[in-house]
Amino acid sequence: MHRSTFTSAPTARLAAAMGVVVLLAACGSPGSSDSGSGTATSTTASDLAVCEAVPGDALVALVDDQNLQNPDNIVPAVNGAAAADDPELVTLLNTVSAVLDTDGLVALNKAVDIDRQTSAQAAQAFVEEQGLAATEQVGEGRSVVVGSPNFSEGATLANLYAEVLNSAGYDASTQDVGNRELYLTDLESGSVTVLPEYVSTLTEFLNVKVNGEGAESVATPDLDATMTELTTLAEGVGLVVGEPADAQDQNAFAVTEAFATEHDLTTLTDLAENCGGIVLGGPPECPERPFCQLGLQDTYGLDVAEFTSLDAGGPLTKEALKSGTITLGLIFSSDAVLG
């Protein structure tokens, strides 16, 4: 249900992009591999020292400062008829968006995936910490069904929406839903009232649904422009979208904290300008995808010397990063390991 073309369960989030990369390193001999078109830097691969992987348990995502990935901010999607009949519904969901940033989403995922809380427990604690409980009982017992996608982040977000709505006097419950093809049909029909969604992923899903398989992509790195497209597409199928949260779950490129510290790296541009000979790890299709290896080379001019086929932000990639087998690895920006 989420977005990435590289994932399944949390990764069932089907989206237009791939590519979190993790890296570990210490400098060695000059790199010799071709870095692609390298539009981002004037430094050539031959000018750079090879940065060897630096093992470590802590991972950090390097900032995508040149916007290789399209925005996949969390956004509430609502049945259009329900939103029209009850404007307070979207207003309350927007209060969640107003306080949920990526650090908060990582913390929620850590609470569930690592600390073993239930999604309901994590959501309740977040509502209390953020003071999200409604002060007015506007729901009057009206029934609201919040769709709960079948991965932990989706379930936690669904419980977060339900918790806030119940505090306002609604009779809100969560319901497990299947893949996006199925649950958006339920949302359009009204059998599901609300769903947590992802901006670019939903935009492109609806774009294909409305305009056909060959439709030109309308999601871009510009969040406002993508939201404009999403709002129009959603209205066309009887849906309403609320305000996007700052929180994003998108493809990200990560390195070990030890590697980032050793080379004073914060952004992907820093990496491309200071390190050559990168060993990249990720899903098998990464070398051929514009949001993964191709994008790293073309947008950032990154010198990728070797690719290791692993998984999409999963345990194989994370372990390879931690052990120093790869320098850079694809993960997701809201992964619990970043907390």
Tens-binned pLDDT, residue by residue, of the chain (339 aa): 454 444 333 333 333 333 333 333 333 332 323 333 333 444 455 578 999 999 999 999 999 999 999 999 999 999 999 999 999 999 999 999 999 999 999 999 999 999 999 999 999 999 999 999 999 999 999 999 999 998 999 999 999 999 999 999 999 999 999 889 889 999 999 999 999 999 999 999 999 999 999 999 999 999 999 999 999 999 999 999 999 999 999 999 999 999 999 999 999 999 999 999 999 999 999 999 999 999 999 999 999 999 999 999 999 999 999 999 999 999 999 999 998
Indicate whether 211 and 272 sit together in one domain: no
Number of domains in the chain: 2
Question: Which residues 6+ apart lie within 8 Å of 27 measured at CB?
Answer: 49, 50, 51, 52, 263, 275
Indicate whether 210 and 296 sit together in one domain: no
Indicate whether 38 and 136 sit together in one domain: no
Listing DSSP states for 5-20 in one string gives TT-SSTT----S----
User: 65: domain range?
Assistant: 27-69+250-338
Indicate whether 100 and 225 sit together in one domain: yes
**Residue 10, in any domain of the structure:** no
| Of residues 24, 56, 138, the one with CA closest to residue 90 | 138
Indicate whether 157 and 219 sit together in one domain: yes
| Of residues 311, 189, 327, 195, the one with CA closest to residue 259 | 327
- CA–CA separation, 131 and 322 (whole Å): 37
Which of helix, strand or coil describes residue 256? strand
pTM (predicted TM-score): 0.86
Which CATH number do you get for residue 134?
A: 3.10.105.10
Indicate whether 98 and 155 sit together in one domain: yes
- CA–CA separation, 98 and 247 (whole Å): 10
**Residue 2, in any domain of the structure:** no
Indicate whether 333 and 211 sit together in one domain: no
Our measurement of the distance from residue 257's CA atom to the centroid of its chain's CA atoms, rounded to an integer in Å, reads 20
**Residue 333, in any domain of the structure:** yes
Indicate whether 176 and 64 sit together in one domain: no
Indicate whether 230 and 87 sit together in one domain: yes
Indicate whether 236 and 223 sit together in one domain: yes
Structure tokens at 335: 């992964």
- CA–CA separation, 10 and 54 (whole Å): 28
- CA–CA separation, 29 and 200 (whole Å): 40
